[in-house]
Amino acid sequence: MFLRAPLTPTFFTGTTTDESFNCPLFSSPVTTSLNTVCAAVKGGSSNHRPLTGVVFEPFEEVKKELNLVPSGYHQSLARQKYADESEASINEQINVEYNVSYVYHAMYAYFDRDNVALKGLAKFFKESSEEEREHAEKFMEYQNKRGGKVKLQSIIMPLSEFDHEEKGDALYAMELALSLEKLTNEKLLNLHEVACRNNDVQLADFVESEFLGEQVEAIKKISEYVAQLRRVGKGHGVWHFNQMLLNEGAAA
């Protein structure tokens, strides 16, 4: 807490065992502890001006925080301005990421079957599944960083068959992937809203910088894949699409 003053500040650092001492730059005693830093304003004839409010008294100001440091073994020491609602929403998002990862893993297993054998699609969904799991882990790491507790919830059993009479398997699976990415985006936006509602700038920044941009990229890429699969039909064209993924595809 410094006063705005158009004068040059001078710092004095000293060590004392007294509760208070007279700083040579102040007219009144400065309350302090063992290590003391006091700041004063020096300038021409104004040396004897009252300096009330210029002093930053860290040991006074920190007392309130010191009282808040939990002593219980099961309580987080790091937790600060982290709402219960934010903690619960992060756990929900971990569950969303795991569920999506599980569905992509099921798609990988389907396209890797010997009688389906679309290795490019299998590779794409395997990498996508791993990426969603990484997202879950990133949220877990953040939960711990903020002093929350990770609580894993159940994962729903996904489909195991992805063939569709009209659309065929590749297009059907890719449309499903697109809707899952959009759903994930909605959940991320909800999480961002929770962060804003609780004035948690750090959580909002985390969601924005680590997830929101990437999510929009994923939606665009899968939309393009859906458009391409609609163009090529169910037969030979799917083989070429599959080869394209095998050579250059990347996870969503």
Name which of 18 and 193 has its Cβ closer to Fe ion. 193
Q: How far is the CB of 181 from Fe ion (least distance, A)?
A: 5
127 is in an annotated binding site: no
Kindly write down the DSSP assignment for every residue of 12-40, as one continuous string.
Answer: EEEE-SSSEE--TT-SS-EE--SEEEEEE
Question: Which positions from 190 through 249 interact with Fe ion, judged by CB under 5 A?
Answer: 218
Question: Which positions from 36 through 75 interact with Fe ion, judged by CB under 5 A?
Answer: none
Name which of 30 and 218 has its Cβ closer to Fe ion. 218
Inter-residue contact 75 to 60 (CB < 8 Å): no
Question: Which positions from 120 through 149 interact with Fe ion, judged by CB under 5 A?
Answer: 132, 135
The residue number whose beta carbon is nearest to Fe ion equals 135
Name which of 40 and 252 has its Cβ closer to Fe ion. 252
Q: How far is the CB of 28 from Fe ion (least distance, A)?
A: 59
- The C-alpha atoms of residue 219 and residue 230 are separated, in whole angstroms, by 16
Question: Which positions from 71 through 130 interact with Fe ion, judged by CB under 5 A?
Answer: 97
CA distances from 219 to 177, 192, 223 (A): 9, 18, 6
CA distances from 196 to 87, 114, 128, 208 (A): 13, 49, 29, 12
Strand, helix or coil at 76? coil
- The C-alpha atoms of residue 125 and residue 116 are separated, in whole angstroms, by 14
135 is in an annotated binding site: yes
Residue numbers at the binding site for Fe ion (CB under 5 A): 97, 132, 135, 218, 252
Which residues are annotated binding-site positions? Answer: 97, 132, 135, 181, 215
